[in-house]
Structure 1
Amino acid sequence: MSFIKGYDPDTLREIVDARACKDRLDEIGEQRSLPALLERVWLLKVLGRLEDSLVLSEESVRVARMAGTRKDLLRARILHASVEQFRGAYAAAENELATCAAEAEGQGWNAIAAFAYQHRGKVYFDAEDFVSARADFKRALFLRQEAGAPDDQLESTLLAIDAADRRRTGSSALVG
């Protein structure tokens, strides 16, 4: 079941079915497996429970470091950075995502690298650096195409590129 109903074209945030997210959070409960931890982090984040999400995302990074694969650790770090972004800690999020993207690309893990670039693009977007946001979204699109990503991922990236273009054009019109 997909909890995401779409993306806000102005903020690029997920539009979710809050009731379904809360029900799923209740269903997962206090499970401690890495997949359950990561899902709980995301659910708490999209429900706006950022402090709870931050604490749990830090725990998920520790669990992934101790018991997961390198790919698991990258996914946990990217999710942690996305929580930082939602909290407005753009510099910390940007730094973490840059490191994750570089490592994933170095390993040839295009899907994970695309995930990191997509999220770093959202950090830039929130920080109103629309040129950098667009560049990261374009890189994410290329990597997702290379990885054979599903249509919904390609569509969300195309939406992000379009939003960055609109905001960039709107920003330059205000300056000029």
Structure 2
Amino acid sequence: MSYIRGYDPDTLREIVDLRECQERLDEIGPQRSLPALLERVWLLKVLGRLDEALVISEQSVRVARMAGTRKDLLRARILHATVLQARGALPAAMQELTTCAEEAEGAEWSGIAAFALQHRGKVSYDAGDYDEARTDFKRALFLRQDAGAADEQLESTLLAIDAADRRRSRTSVAS
């Protein structure tokens, strides 16, 4: 079940039903499986509980490193980077997402590479680098199409490209 109802067209943040997310977080409780940890990280992040999200994301990376696959570890690292981004640690998030995108593309895991690039684009967007954001969003779109991604994923990427274009045009008009 997806808790995402859409994306804010200006911030690109997920729009969620906070009550549903809190209920799901309560439901998961202290489960320690990797899928449960990753879901908890995301829920804590969208609920704005960033300190808790950081602790659990670090735990999920350790669990993935010890007991998961390379793909699991990349997903955990990407999610950890999104928490860093939400906390304002943009350079650290950018570095982690770049490493993850390169590793995923090298392994020809289009879906994971697209996930990393989409989020790296959001970091650039937050930093005000709309050209770089657009480049990452366009690459993510191509990779998602290549991977046969769901329409919702393609739509979120198209929304991000549009937002970067709007911001680029505002910035160039203001210059």
| Partner residue in 2 for 1:168 | 168
Matches within 5 A, 1:1-176: 1-175=1-175
1:73-120 per-residue CA deviation (whole Å, 9 max, x = no partner) reads: 000000000000000100000000000000000000000000000000
Amino acid at match of 1:166: R
The two structures have a TM-score, normalised by structure 1, of 0.99
Amino acid at match of 1:40: R
In structure 2, distance between residues paired with 1:172 and 1:80: 33
Question: SS of the counterpart of 1:6?
Answer: strand
1:4-49 per-residue CA deviation (whole Å, 9 max, x = no partner) reads: 0100000000000100000000000000000000000000000000
Where does structure 1 differ by over 3 angstroms across 4 or more consecutive aligned residues? none
The two structures have a TM-score, normalised by structure 2, of 1.00
In structure 2, distance between residues paired with 1:21 and 1:128: 29
In structure 1, distance between residues paired with 2:2 and 2:100: 26
1:126-145 per-residue CA deviation (whole Å, 9 max, x = no partner) reads: 00100000000000000000
In structure 2, distance between residues paired with 1:168 and 1:61: 35
Structure 2 segments unaligned to the other structure (5+ residues)? none
Corresponding pairs, count: 175
In structure 2, distance between residues paired with 1:170 and 1:87: 26
In structure 1, distance between residues paired with 2:54 and 2:127: 20
Question: SS of the counterpart of 1:102?
Answer: helix
Structure 1 segments unaligned to the other structure (5+ residues)? none
In structure 2, distance between residues paired with 1:122 and 1:101: 14
Q: CA deviation at 1:2?
A: 1.7
Question: SS of the counterpart of 2:2?
Answer: coil
